[in-house]
Copies of this chain bind each other. A is one copy, B any other.
Amino acid sequence: MTDTIYSGYLRTPHYYETDQMGIVHHSNYIRWFEEARVQLLDFLNCSYKEIEDAGIIIPVLDVSCQYKGMIRFGDEIRIDIAIHSYTGTRLTFGYTIYPVDGDTILTTGTSSHCFLSAETQRLIRLKKTHPQIHQIFEDYYAQTKLK
């Protein structure tokens, strides 16, 4: 188990992500959350691609996002990501967006996921089928719970 906590996903909004209100369109945050968890899994040596190549798909069961401050083109942000809960069959991430060099919370959000066999399209219990991936989620959950 590594002691290193993932230091957050850095992002600058793209021009095409703005809308005519002059801010980032709210739907894009859901996409940023996905970018953040993809980078987290890379960091944990358990990439999305490897997971999919291992025959596991990770559908999204639900998402939520709370917009507290507007984010604009030209801003630089950091997305922190924690595991809020992990039951072996269900995984919930929590996201917090900050200015890259500040601690004002701009946005919070969550996403919940399950694990399906790509072959059977049925739920799998990672602990049984993929204990190594299971352990990675267990460890990161333990780490982020302590924060």
A43 within 8 A of B: no
Q: Which residues of the other chain, B, contact A34 by a CB distance below 8 angstroms?
A: 14-16, 27
Bound CA–CA A66/B38 (angstroms): 21
Q: Is the CB of A31 within 8 A of B21?
A: no
Bound CA–CA A73/B59 (angstroms): 16
Main secondary structure of the interface of A (DSSP, over half): mixed
Shortest distance from the beta carbon of A36 to any chain B beta carbon, whole Å:
11
**A64 and B67 in contact (CB under 8 A), knowing A14-B34, A21-B57, A31-B16?**
no
Query: Looking at A19, A38, A67, which has the most chain B CB atoms within 10 Å of its CB?
Result: A19
Query: Looking at A20, A49, A67, which has the most chain B CB atoms within 10 Å of its CB?
Result: A20
Q: Which residues of the other chain, B, contact A60 by a CB distance below 8 angstroms?
A: 26, 67
CB closest residue in chain B, given A60: B26
Q: Report the copy number of this chain in the oligomer.
A: 4
Q: Which residues of the other chain, B, contact A48 by a CB distance below 8 angstroms?
A: 15, 73
CB closest residue in chain B, given A72: B20
Give residues 9-67 of A contacting B (CB, 8 Å): 14-16, 18-23, 25-28, 30-31, 34-35, 38, 47-49, 57, 59-67
